[in-house]
Structure 1
Amino acid sequence: MQEQILLTVSGHEKIKKELQDLKNRRLKISQRIKTAREFGDLSENSEYEDAKNEQSFVEGRILELEEMLRRAKVLTKNGTDKVELGSTVILKIDGQSPEYTIVGASESDPGTGKISVDSPLGHSLMGCAKGEEVEILTPNGKMACEVVAIK
């Protein structure tokens, strides 16, 4: 049995939108291939090759997204006072107050503050309450932080 993919509601919607966009793009690519075939010799037809390469990428991504949605477990925030998937937390680390949203691995984007529940920080924060001190084991050693707020 394949492992479930944990997603927030917004992450699930984002994947569904990308899938629909790719399916629409697939129709346009088919038309480009048809037009390129009309140019004749396919062995030296760069338009045809480009369209076929794009088609291959799009088809692969469609399959990947459909599989993700098939295995998805969409979790909604229960409004608890504890950190859970989908929670946005404000921390206090070395005098700074970064804000992170805890998401499934497939949604993580540290550059935008979305950290995976499977990351050392995300894993350590799960189940914590406001005001709780947390020690996180990172590849660079231990790091201490405090949960300032949970949204």
Structure 2
Amino acid sequence: MRTPQRKLGKYSHLKPDPNITEKKYNELMTELEKLKKIFRPPAIKEVKRLALMGDFSENAAYQIAKGRLRGINKRIDDIEDHLKRANVIKTNKSDQVELGSTVTILIDNKEKTYTILGSSETDPSKNVISHNSPIGQAIMHKKKNDIIEFKISGNTKTIKILNIK
């Protein structure tokens, strides 16, 4: 059975950001182990069991099990690829903003604190932003007390770096 070919999305060809924290690296390793040792073996057994029923073209249960196994194998490949290219962020005490830095800034007369990480770990609700975000790009490699102007959505914003941890 052939699956329909879908047009690739605008960002589907992009690889995940290789910059990850040690915590994220360990989470990916744990997920990889679970997939390989807990989820894949029963999926393989199920495919083998259903294959014994004969005609593959009309064996819906076999097709479903095979699809599930393909999904597990795809996730394993994705994680292995991400881990191969991973650049684990080492937090250094530095006088400038780098990956892994926690930065307190003054923007729009409001004090805000952000942690700068790779794109795969962003969580704006927890003030974790990407180094590729507009604010992240503006403050990367800047120092305490620097004042930076940058454009976002056609507006010019001014940021002052108050503290770097």
**TM-score category (smaller protein):** 0.7 to 0.9
Change (3 A) 1:42 1:74: same
Q: Pick from 151, 156, 160 the counterpart of residue 137 of structure 1.
A: 151
- In structure 2, the partner of 1:80 is 94
- In structure 1, the partner of 2:19 is 6
Which structure has the bigger radius of gyration?
2
- In structure 2, the partner of 1:119 is 133
Is 1:66 paired with 2:86? no
- In structure 1, the partner of 2:6 is none
Q: Shift in Å at residue 108 of structure 1?
A: 3.0
Identity, in percent, stands at: 34
Deviations 1:50-103 (A, max 9, x none): 322222122122112211221222230111132110112232222433332211
- In structure 2, the partner of 1:15 is 28
What SS does structure 2 have at the residue aligned with 1:76? coil
- For the 8 Å contact 2:91–2:100, the answer to whether it is kept is yes
Change (3 A) 1:34 1:128: same
Rounded Cα–Cα distance in structure 2 between residues aligned with 1:140 and 1:73: 33
Amino acid across the alignment from 1:102: I
- For the 8 Å contact 2:106–2:112, the answer to whether it is kept is yes
Q: Would you tell me which structure has more helix in proportion to its own residues?
A: 1
CA RMSD, 1 decimal:
2.6
Amino acid across the alignment from 1:59: N
What SS does structure 1 have at the residue aligned with 2:105? strand
Change (3 A) 1:35 1:92: farther
5+ residue gaps in structure 2? 1-16
- For the 8 Å contact 1:8–1:85, the answer to whether it is kept is no
- For the 8 Å contact 1:5–1:104, the answer to whether it is kept is yes
Q: TM-score, normalised by structure 2?
A: 0.72
Q: TM-score, normalised by structure 1?
A: 0.77
Rounded Cα–Cα distance in structure 1 between residues aligned with 2:126 and 2:157: 21
Q: Pick from 115, 120, 128 the counterpart of residue 101 of structure 1.
A: 115
